[in-house]
Chain A
Amino acid sequence: MSKVRSYAWLAWRAVVPHPLRALRRRGTGEERFLANYAAERLAPTSLDARAVAEAASACISCGLCESGCALRSAIPAVRSLGLHAAFRLHAKSDEMRAHGADALAACASCTGCEPLCPTGVPITRLVRLLAAR
Chain B
Amino acid sequence: MPGLRIECDVLVVGGGMAGATAALAAREGGARVVLASKAPGSTGLSGGAVSVAQDPACMPDTPFAARSGVVESARRIAATRPGHPYRLLRDRLDRLWNAIEFATGQLSAVLAPPTGRNRWILTPFGHAHPAATCHRTMAAGDLAEVRGTLLVCGFEGHLGWDPGLVASGAERVRSLGGPASRHVLLDMFRWEDGALGRPFDLARMLEAPGAAEEAGRVLRRVLARGDAAAVLPPVLGIDPEGRVADRIAAEAGIPVAEFLSDLPSVPGLRLHRAVEARLAAAGVEVLRGEVRAGAGPDLPATVGGREVVARSWVLASGRFVGGGIERRGELREGILGLPVLASEGPFADPSIRFATRPPASLTLRDSRAPQPLLAAGLRVDDALHPLDAEGRVLHPRVFAAGAVVGGHDPASDGTGMGVAMFTGWLAGRSAAGRDA
Chain A proximity of B36: nearest CB distance (Å): 14
Check B195–A118 contact: CB distance below 8 A.
no
* A-B contacts, 14 listed (Cβ < 8 Å): A62-B45, A62-B264, A63-B199, A64-B268, A64-B269, A77-B193, A79-B198, A80-B195, A80-B197, A115-B39, A115-B288, A118-B40, A118-B321, A118-B322
A-side interface residues toward B, CB under 8 Å?
Answer: 60-64, 66-67, 75-77, 79-80, 82, 115-120
| Known A118-B321, A119-B323; contact A64-B40, beta-carbon cutoff 8 A | yes
Across chains A and B, the number of contacting residue pairs, with CB separation under 8 Å, is 60
Q: Which among A61, A64, A79 has the greatest number of chain B C-beta atoms within 10 A?
A: A64
Q: Count of chain B residues with Cβ under 8 Å from any Cβ of A?
A: 27
B-side interface residues toward A, CB under 8 Å?
Answer: 38-42, 44-45, 191, 193-201, 238, 263-265, 268-269, 288, 321-323
| Known A64-B45, A66-B264; contact A120-B195, beta-carbon cutoff 8 A | no
Check B263–A63 contact: CB distance below 8 A.
yes
Chain B proximity of A61: nearest CB distance (Å): 7
Check B194–A116 contact: CB distance below 8 A.
no
| Extra A-B contacts (20), CB below 8 Å, given A66-B200, A79-B195, A82-B198 | A62-B263, A62-B321, A63-B199, A63-B264, A67-B269, A75-B195, A76-B191, A76-B193, A76-B197, A77-B193, A80-B196, A80-B198, A115-B288, A116-B39, A118-B41, A118-B42, A118-B321, A118-B323, A119-B321, A120-B39
Closest to B290 in A: A120
Q: Give Cα A83 to B42, complex, Å.
A: 21
Closest to B288 in A: A115
Contacts of B191 in A (CB 8 A): 76
Contacts of B264 in A (CB 8 A): 62-64, 66-67
Contacts of B198 in A (CB 8 A): 66, 79-80, 82
Check B193–A117 contact: CB distance below 8 A.
no
Cβ-defined partner of A75 (8 Å) among B193, B201, B265? B193
Closest to B45 in A: A62
Closest to A78 in B: B195
Check B195–A76 contact: CB distance below 8 A.
yes
| Known A62-B45, A77-B194, A82-B198; contact A120-B323, beta-carbon cutoff 8 A | yes
Q: Give Cα A116 to B288, complex, Å.
A: 11
Contacts of A120 in B (CB 8 A): 38-39, 323
Q: Give Cα A76 to B190, complex, Å.
A: 10
Q: Give Cα A66 to B196, complex, Å.
A: 14
Q: Give Cα A54 to B364, complex, Å.
A: 26
Contacts of A64 in B (CB 8 A): 40, 44-45, 264, 268-269
Contacts of B195 in A (CB 8 A): 75-77, 79-80
Contacts of A66 in B (CB 8 A): 198, 200, 264
Q: Give Cα A77 to B194, complex, Å.
A: 7
Check B196–A60 contact: CB distance below 8 A.
no
| Known A64-B45, A115-B288, A117-B39; contact A79-B194, beta-carbon cutoff 8 A | no
Q: Give Cα A66 to B265, complex, Å.
A: 10
Contacts of B288 in A (CB 8 A): 115
Chain B proximity of A77: nearest CB distance (Å): 4
Chain A proximity of B170: nearest CB distance (Å): 26
Contacts of B269 in A (CB 8 A): 64, 67
Chain A proximity of B337: nearest CB distance (Å): 19
Contacts of A67 in B (CB 8 A): 200, 238, 264, 269
Chain B proximity of A59: nearest CB distance (Å): 12
Cβ-defined partner of A79 (8 Å) among B38, B201, B263? B201
Closest to B38 in A: A120
Chain B proximity of A65: nearest CB distance (Å): 9
Chain A proximity of B59: nearest CB distance (Å): 35
Q: Give Cα A66 to B288, complex, Å.
A: 20
Q: Which among A60, A62, A79, A116 has the greatest number of chain B C-beta atoms within 10 A?
A: A62
Q: Give Cα A67 to B204, complex, Å.
A: 10
Contacts of B193 in A (CB 8 A): 75-77
Q: Give Cα A20 to B329, complex, Å.
A: 35
Closest 4 CB pairs of A and B: A63-B264, A76-B195, A80-B196, A67-B200
Q: Give Cα A117 to B322, complex, Å.
A: 10
Contacts of A61 in B (CB 8 A): 263
| Known A62-B263, A66-B264, A67-B264; contact A118-B44, beta-carbon cutoff 8 A | yes
Chain B proximity of A126: nearest CB distance (Å): 16
Check B40–A116 contact: CB distance below 8 A.
yes
Closest to A63 in B: B264
Chain B proximity of A120: nearest CB distance (Å): 7
Q: Give Cα A115 to B38, complex, Å.
A: 8
